[in-house]
Chain A
Amino acid sequence: MAASIGAASCRALFCRSWGKRLSAAGRLLGGARGLAAQGETHLGFQTVPEAEKEQRVYQVFESVAKKYDIMNDSMSFGIHRLWKDILLHQMNPYPGTQLLDVAGGTGDIAFRFINYIRSQREYQLRQKLKSHQNLSWQEISKSYQEEALKPLGGSQVVICDINKEMLKVGKQKAQHLGYTEGLSWVVGNAEELPFDDDKFDVYTIAFGIRNVTHIDQALQEAYRVLQPGGRFLCLEFSQVNNPLISRLYDLYSFQVIPVLGEIIAGDWKSYQYLVESIRQFPAQEEFKAMIEDAGFLKVEYRNLTAGIVAIHSGFKL
């Protein structure tokens, strides 16, 4: 009862500004290209000077960092976990893989990566023991000792995020969940990565790239730090093509998510920004072309959940 009243009043509040916002959005969408050329960029449906976007996005994530995970769960009904699992399956890393996870502040991709490597490693070990049936006790003990020394087979994940508040949350989570080995944390900007050329096997960016001011620069940097043969993987909101689902999705995004943001995180504006920024991000094909422009080859994408999100993949060959 109380909840429904709350939701209703929030909706009323929202509707008041809705008409104005829609027309503003229309104007913006029309004139977006011209403006972008003059050093301005989107911040959700607003247009702001490029220099300002980075700072504003920083404030958004600084504000939501502590509630980021619970918000993700409640906004997506937990489906974001499946999307991230699918990303890992597509990556299919092996013990030894070096991963750079950009905009990965709260560690969602990194922890999945570690889990995946661990299970791969266990599988390897089991296969090895199975294939030598008559091992001596010493040999078996040695293999376990090896395992204890290098549980990840040399794999490492570097989590790079421009927002130190997000990293702080991620690092605490890592300690809490007992991840110690193979994780490193760095505050860095996706547009000017602080890593040497050709260092990583995989570059991931999950729900991060749409917040970057110059996406083309971020893609070029991804290309630079990957070693030849390395793979770029991006999980990001995309465009829903089914008109019916699209209507429902819009309704949900604009009517419900900011309300949830207000109720759970006490921050309507940041979540308003999040849903708007999703609408501004280029659709599947356009983003694919951008990845190709950065030099990646064999660029493909797959839609998940009717295109609400998409995984783009490309190789540096």
Chain B
Amino acid sequence: MLGRAAALRRGLQVAAGGTRGPDSGRGSAQPARLDPALLGLLVCPLSKRPLRYEESTNELINEELGIAYPVVDGIPNMIPQVARKIEAEPPHPTGEESKQS
């Protein structure tokens, strides 16, 4: 009974952990996901505003400032100097490099 529950839980974790195993999808091995317990705690160290977790790129995104913090091996790197610049969402959508993945 308990064993089955544990197995089920493990199954769920695997599902939540996303595709693991032999290099699935786009060339690079799928990186470890963000620890869900952290999502409710993390904010942008600069603006102290909440972040959006973008699963496809495995990044935490501050849309206001247009920066993305990478999650490497399941560890979010919240150092602004390391963050990637992306195009800020709301302000002028005209011109400039539109480098959105």
**Chain A residues near B (Cβ < 8 Å):** 145, 148, 156, 158, 162, 164, 167-168, 171, 184-189, 192-197, 199
Contacts and interface: CB of A to CB of B under 8 A. Distances in A.
Contact of A197 (B44, B45, B48): B48
Nearest to A195: B41
B50 A167 contact: no
A189 B45 contact: yes
26 contacts: A158-B38, A158-B41, A164-B72, A164-B75, A167-B75, A168-B73, A171-B73, A184-B35, A185-B35, A185-B74, A185-B75, A186-B76, A186-B78, A187-B75, A187-B78, A187-B82, A188-B45, A192-B45, A192-B46, A194-B42, A194-B43, A194-B44, A194-B45, A194-B78, A196-B48, A199-B41
Interface in B51-76: 69, 72-76
A194 B81 CA distance: 13
B15 interface: no
B18 interface: no
Interface residues of B, number: 24
Interface residues of A, dominant DSSP: mixed
Interface of B: 2, 35, 37-38, 40-46, 48, 50, 69, 72-80, 82
Contacts of A184: 35, 37-38
Nearest to B35: A184
A57 to B, nearest CB: 13
Contacts of B37: 156, 184
Contact of B77 (A148, A164, A197): A164
A242 B43 CA distance: 45
Given A162-B79, A192-B80, A186 B74 contact: no
Nearest to B38: A184
A188 B77 CA distance: 7
A188 B74 contact: no
Contacts of B78: 186-189, 194
Nearest to B6: A148
Contact of B75 (A186, A192, A197, A199): A186
Contacts of A162: 79
A301 B77 CA distance: 33
Nearest to B9: A149
A189 B48 contact: no
Contacts of A192: 45-46, 80
B45 A186 contact: no
A162 B82 CA distance: 11
A148 B2 CA distance: 10
B2 A145 contact: yes
A187 B48 contact: no
B9 to A, nearest CB: 9
Contacts of B45: 188-189, 192-194
A249 B26 CA distance: 57
A186 B38 contact: yes
B29 to A, nearest CB: 17
B41 to A, nearest CB: 5
Most interface-central of B2, B41, B77 (chain A CB within 10 A)? B41
Given A156-B37, A158-B38, A184-B35, A196 B43 contact: yes
A171 B76 CA distance: 13
Chain A CB within 10 Å — which of B42, B46, B69 has the most? Answer: B42
B44 to A, nearest CB: 7
A55 B35 CA distance: 28
A132 B74 CA distance: 43
A168 B40 CA distance: 23
Contacts of B80: 192
Contact of A171 (B38, B40, B41, B75): B75
Nearest to B49: A196
